[in-house]
């Protein structure tokens, strides 16, 4: 077996438990990813702002026989990101081999009426926090010669919608970081990739399901995605089966951006 085929494989035993940190794992895509990575053998750091939902994800993992800790952080606040990094470093008893930069949220408005704080929130949550977390954990992965980072982007890296400019720009920056980190850490065994979800049926869009019906009717898959559809892609990207996949973005939109309706 080549050295690369080990990338992303949970290492247990003498080298200790292999850990995965999934941001935004108190809900939706992040929760499904955290539960899935635990099934794959990782001990998981669950994080978000909501204490009850963080504990619920941890308990879901534990009930399935996995191992998890939950740590609270507001990733739109740099001091809170720094505190999370220190807490993770203190709490885990093995290498952090997987980082999933998933936490994200809305706050949409036309450019001229987007408050500066909203712009800053998007860029801290979607770009700066992943940047800080990667800066904190990727060097140790590189030193060990293996590790995986997955950034959860959005179709906004491919196409624009009016009224979401700050969100889209911040996700676009994250998309570029996938390539920057592939250049930086890839040669030392750290694989960095992205997933770009289309419409995924999670709590974030619960209130606009009726409005999404028309769009989803035109999606070749004939439905919106489930959180598990994205989680499965992340699980694949961090697995040895993806050991030659570096710096790509996997679009998970049921075919939405591949077709035009004639």
Ligand X SMILES: NC(=O)c1ccc[n+]([C@@H]2O[C@H](COP(=O)([O-])OP(=O)(O)OC[C@H]3O[C@@H](n4cnc5c(N)ncnc54)[C@H](OP(=O)(O)O)[C@@H]3O)[C@@H](O)[C@H]2O)c1
CB-based contact 138:15 (threshold 8 Å)? no
* Residue 26 found at the interface with ligand X (CB under 6 A): yes
Instruction: Tell me the β-bridge partners of 197.
Output: 252
For residues 10 and 28, which CB has a smaller minimum distance to ligand X in the complex? Answer: 28
* Residue 49 found at the interface with ligand X (CB under 6 A): yes
For residues 85 and 200, which CB has a smaller minimum distance to ligand X in the complex? Answer: 200
For residues 122 and 146, which CB has a smaller minimum distance to ligand X in the complex? Answer: 122
* Residue 246 in tokens: 């570096």
* Residue 141 found at the interface with ligand X (CB under 6 A): no
Q: Which residues contact 110 (CB under 8 A, 6 or more apart)?
A: 162, 163, 165
For residues 74 and 97, which CB has a smaller minimum distance to ligand X in the complex? Answer: 74
Encoded one letter per residue, x for contact with ligand X by CB under 6 A and - for no contact, window 202-241 reads xxxx------------------------------------
Residue whose token pair is 């704080």: 117
d(CA 94, CA 45): 12
CA distances from 43 to 22, 73, 92, 93, 158 (A): 11, 19, 9, 10, 33
* Residue 175 found at the interface with ligand X (CB under 6 A): no
CB-based contact 195:234 (threshold 8 Å)? yes
Residue whose token pair is 């889209």: 168
* Residue 103 found at the interface with ligand X (CB under 6 A): yes
Binding window for ligand X (CB under 6 A); candidates: 2-10, 28-36, 92-100, 157-165: 28-36
Pairing of strands 147-152, 96-101: parallel
Binding window for ligand X (CB under 6 A); candidates: 49-57, 60-68, 239-247, 254-262: 49-57
* Residue 197 found at the interface with ligand X (CB under 6 A): yes
Which residues sit at the interface with ligand X, rule CB under 6 A?
A: 24-30, 48-50, 53, 73-76, 102-105, 125, 152, 154, 197, 199-200, 202-205
């Amino acid at each position: 077996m080549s050295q690369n085929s080990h990338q992303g494989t949970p290492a247990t035993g003498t080298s200790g438990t292999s850990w995965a940190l999934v941001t935004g794992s108190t809900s939706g895509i992040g929760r499904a990813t955290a539960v899935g990575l635990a099934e794959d053998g990782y001990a998981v750091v669950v994080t978000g702002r909501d204490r009850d939902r963080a504990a619920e994800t941890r308990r879901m993992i534990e009930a399935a026989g996995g191992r998890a800790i939950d740590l609270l952080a507001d990733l739109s606040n740099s001091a809170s990101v720094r505190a999370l990094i220190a807490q993770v470093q203190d709490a885990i008893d093995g290498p952090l081999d997987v980082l999933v930069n998933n936490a994200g949220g809305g706050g949409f408005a036309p450019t001229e009426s987007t408050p500066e704080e909203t712009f800053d929130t998007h860029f801290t949550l979607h770009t700066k926090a992943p940047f800080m977390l990667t800066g904190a954990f990727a060097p140790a992965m590189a030193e060990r010669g293996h590790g995986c980072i997955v950034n959860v982007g959005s179709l906004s890296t491919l196409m624009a919608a009016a009224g979401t400019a700050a969100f889209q720009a911040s996700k676009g920056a994250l998309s570029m970081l996938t390539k920057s980190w592939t250049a930086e850490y890839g040669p030392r065994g750290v694989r960095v990739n992205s997933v770009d979800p289309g419409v995924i049926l999670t709590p974030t869009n619960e209130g606009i399901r009726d409005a999404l019906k028309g769009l989803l009717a035109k999606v070749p898959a004939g439905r919106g995605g489930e959180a598990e559809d994205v989680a499965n892609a992340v699980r694949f990207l961090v697995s040895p089966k993806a050991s030659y996949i570096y710096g790509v973005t996997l679009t998970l939109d049921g075919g939405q951006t591949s077709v035009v309706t004639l």
